[in-house]
């Protein structure tokens, strides 16, 4: 019995060593390696992600010990290997980490809240009419913390209400009402904890780029830089027309102010002189 156990353990060890060796070689073939969470990941969402990235990435799942050893054998940094705290899988790809994260994000779906879950952001219930008639459900709305009233026989939410703030736990009453109102505050799907490329480890918060906010910041930065360059009269190809227009306007205003009879302002100067003369004439009663 003891001998059989030893043989079985030896076979298992050899099998794991083979798995580690094969996986480490495969990891080394790809410029991008990402870790994704397996906890609470439904199989259908994993399949959705695989379909989304077919031909662009491969997914590998195995025991954490095997994956850890394979990553280390492929000489990936310890910081990356330890990026996932629970069971995880690997994504091996040729596309850059930011595009990979974006494509995976697109493959996610929405999910209802469950009691005890932590709110990923503020959960706000908007004011307005609901589909529910007056009845026992009215007390459920109130227990969840909503201001409600009956209008036309239906329950109305009187004003916008933040039921749960980001980072807070969702209680049973709130979870029940959110489901009744068809509010799905959670995204479900493949979630990348970290990605590795060219010696750099990209954490989740770095990969999760708000593209619109990024573009808005770029536009604002350009606008602020151009305004500053115009203010200090620093000429560039992007502001030279504004500088010339500003210089022309300043010169024109100066000519008018000082009464200089230049062809572009002579009419204004003469009109101004005529207005002054009329004012004097009126003052002396002429």
**225 and 102 inside one domain:** no
How many structural domains does the chain have?
Answer: 3
**pLDDT recorded at residue 1:** 57
Are 207 and 192 in contact by the 8 Å Cβ rule? The answer is: yes
**pLDDT recorded at residue 259:** 72
Q: Is 117 part of a structural domain of the chain?
A: no
**pLDDT recorded at residue 3:** 62
**49 and 85 inside one domain:** yes
**195 and 254 inside one domain:** no
**pLDDT recorded at residue 9:** 63
Residue-wise pLDDT tens digits, 53-104: 999 999 999 998 999 999 999 999 999 988 887 899 999 999 999 999 999 9
Q: How many CB atoms lie within 10 A of CB 120?
A: 13
Q: What is the pTM of this model?
A: 0.63
Q: Give the residue ranges of the chain where pLDDT is below 70.
A: 1-12, 256, 261, 264-265, 269-270, 273, 276, 285-286
**Rounded Cα–Cα distance for residues 211 and 186 (Å):** 20
**pLDDT recorded at residue 272:** 75
Q: Which residues contact 176 (CB under 8 A, 6 or more apart)?
A: 140, 144
Cα-Cα-Cα-Cα torsion 208, 209, 213, 215, nearest 10 degrees, comes to -170
Q: Is 118 part of a structural domain of the chain?
A: no
**16 and 37 inside one domain:** yes
**33 and 160 inside one domain:** no
């Amino acid at each position: 019995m003891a001998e059989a156990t030893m043989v079985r353990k030896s076979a298992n060890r050899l099998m794991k060593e083979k798995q580690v060796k094969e996986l480490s070689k495969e990891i080394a073939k790809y410029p991008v390696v990402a870790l994704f969470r397996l906890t609470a990941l439904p199989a259908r969402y994993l399949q959705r992600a695989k379909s989304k990235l077919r031909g662009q990435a491969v997914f590998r799942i195995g025991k954490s010990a095997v994956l850890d050893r394979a990553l280390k054998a492929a000489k990936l940094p310890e910081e990356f290997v330890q990026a996932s705290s629970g069971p995880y899988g690997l994504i091996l790809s040729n596309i850059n980490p930011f595009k990979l994260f974006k494509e995976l994000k697109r493959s996610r779906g929405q999910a209802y809240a469950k009691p005890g879950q932590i709110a990923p952001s503020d959960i706000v219930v908007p004011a307005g009419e609901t589909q529910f008639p007056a009845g026992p459900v009215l007390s459920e709305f109130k227990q969840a913390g909503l201001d409600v009233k009956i209008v036309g026989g239906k329950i109305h939410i009187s004003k916008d209400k933040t039921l749960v703030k980001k980072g807070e736990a969702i209680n049973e009453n709130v979870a029940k009402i959110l489901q009744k109102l068809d509010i799905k505050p959670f995204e479900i799907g493949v979630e990348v904890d970290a990605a590795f490329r060219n010696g750099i480890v990209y954490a989740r918060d770095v990969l999760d780029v708000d593209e619109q906010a990024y573009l808005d910041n770029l536009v604002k930065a350009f606008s602020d830089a151009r305004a500053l360059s115009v203010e200090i009269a620093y000429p560039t190809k992007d502001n030279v027309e504004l500088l010339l227009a500003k210089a022309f306007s300043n010169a024109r205003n100066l000519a008018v102010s000082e009464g200089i009879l230049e062809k572009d302002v002579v009419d204004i100067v003469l009109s101004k002189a005529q207005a002054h003369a009329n004012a004097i004439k009126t003052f002396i009663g002429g």
